[in-house]
Amino acid sequence: MNKSRGKINTYYYNKHKNNDYNDLLSNMVSKDLDDGIKTANIRILGKYFDQYEKILSKRLFTIIKEGCPLYTKIEIQKVLSNGTKITADLLISYLGHIGNNQHLKIPSKTSKKKTYPIARDICARILQKMDKIAVHEIYSKIKEGCLSYSEKSEALDVLGYCIFHNNSLGTSRLLKTIIKEKNSCNILCKWKSIRALSAFKHNDFVKEYLNSLYIKSNSNEIKSEIKRSLSFII
């Protein structure tokens, strides 16, 4: 079972962890490569990521797009999350376009998690680990009007998560951007923006704003999300 899920081959890793970059990259092309060995190969390639980010980010992301076992996917996520603007831009361009795990409608029940939910979209999940790099690039793309509704919906998950875990990212310009999306004609963006406002945990304006929205809203789902967001604001 572990083999089929791509669990790392530790023997291979220990034996080849000092291999040359080009040798490792050549191995990745082989379609006959055992999943556990591929995972080990990716972990070793990770130490070259800073130097060869442009090439490796595309190669590794292609593996995710084409489908790969759980442990291989986790290893790729770890490597890509250490990326710069190059990787962030690549991931943003595929927000909402890989897999079918994204929200397509507002759930009838709010999350019970005591922290900000991890994104369901694979690209958003990696971006959530990239902190200020992801936030800066997403903010720029939203301001430029580069994102579709589906991309923006996932991008709001990233903004909310990163700000929730790093208060310094919660600037007034980002707050304005998130509030603007609350007025979106897309119901998912509206809902995601309300969730993202929970990240501004010490903001009296946000508290008053959400209370005002609660009074005006006639949607039970939206009201539930507003209540959840308010529960995080001190």
Q: What is the DSSP string of 33-78?
A: --HHHHHHHHHHHGGGTTTSHHHHHHHHHHHHHH---HHHHHHHHH
Per-residue confidence (pLDDT) for residue 4, from 0 to 100: 65
Could you tell me if residue 71 is inside a domain?
yes
Could you tell me if residue 19 is inside a domain?
yes
Which backbone phi and psi does 42 adopt, to 5 degrees? -65, -40
Per-residue confidence (pLDDT) for residue 2, from 0 to 100: 46
Could you tell me if residue 74 is inside a domain?
yes
Tokens linked to 31: 């379609």
What residues make up the domain containing 27? Answer: 1-80
Instruction: Note if the pTM is more than 0.85.
Output: yes
Tokens linked to 152: 């923006």
Could you tell me if residue 124 is inside a domain?
no
Tokens linked to 17: 């962890």
Could you tell me if residue 26 is inside a domain?
yes
Could you tell me if residue 170 is inside a domain?
no
Of 1, 68, 6, 82, the residue nearest 37 (C-alpha): 6
Q: Which helix (H) or strand (E) holds 225?
A: helix 220-232
Per-residue confidence (pLDDT) for residue 3, from 0 to 100: 52
pLDDT tens-digit profile, the chain (234 residues):
445 699 999 999 999 999 999 999 998 888 788 999 999 999 999 999 999 999 999 999 999 999 999 999 999 999 999 999 999 999 999 999 998 888 888 988 889 889 999 999 999 999 999 999 999 999 999 999 999 999 999 999 999 999 999 999 999 999 999 999 988 889 999 999 999 999 999 999 999 999 999 999 999 999 999 999 999 998
Domains held by the chain: number: 1
Could you tell me if residue 196 is inside a domain?
no
Per-residue confidence (pLDDT) for residue 216, from 0 to 100: 94
Could you tell me if residue 39 is inside a domain?
yes
Per-residue confidence (pLDDT) for residue 184, from 0 to 100: 85
Tokens linked to 173: 């310009």
For residue 217, count other CB atoms closer than 10 A to its CB. Answer: 15
Per-residue confidence (pLDDT) for residue 98, from 0 to 100: 94
